[in-house]
Every structure is written in structure tokens, then in C-alpha cells.
Amino acid sequence: MRVVTIGDDRTVTALKLLGIEGYAVKSPGDAVKLINSFLEDPDVAGIFISSSIMDGIRDYVDKVKERRRTPMLMEFPSLEGAEYKPIDYLKTLRSALGM
């Protein structure tokens, strides 16, 4: 099982320096294509998406979460000029567990 990240160049580069598998995308369309490819890979257990990318694909990700339990899709803070937005992790966990 593996966990992958999708984000902007700066965020993905920082994560790669830490040994985390990451993919930089330039547009929401590129992110959706990448997510679709990961959805078909049974080895991918989680997809972490930076907030700078998530802003453009939130509706799509929400629809995927409604119809699939795996892989887990989760937002994480971006390094690219994004302001802090609190994330309700309890809500995210409940959603992942189907509660």
C-alpha cells in the first residue's frame, strides 16, 4: 500500500525531500486526471491533495468520496501562499468511516 500526494511544485518538492511520493500539477484538470489514475490503482491507499489544488477540484473530490471509501482522499495545507484554513478532521474521519 502506498500514499501519494498531489500539489503545487513547491509543496511537492518539499515533500519529496522528506521521501514522500508526490506529483506536481499545474491545473485542476491535471489533478483530476492524476486522481482518476490513482483510483484505478489498488495499491494506492491514500491521496493527499494540497489546499492550493483542492480549491479548484473540491466538488469533484467530494463526489468521489461519496461513492468510494478507498483510497482515502484528504486535504493538507499547501506551502504556496495559502492562508490557514482549519480542517475539521473529525468530520473527515466520520465521512471516511461512513458515519
Digits of tens for pLDDT over the chain (99 positions)? 899 999 988 888 888 888 889 999 999 899 999 999 999 999 999 999 998 888 889 999 999 988 888 898 988 877 766 555 666 777 777 777 777
Q: Where are the domains of the chain?
A: 2-96
CATH number given to 2-96: 3.40.50.10580
Cβ pair 29, 53 in contact under 8 A: no
Torsion (CA) 4, 73, 92, 77 in degrees, nearest 10: 50
pTM over 0.85: no
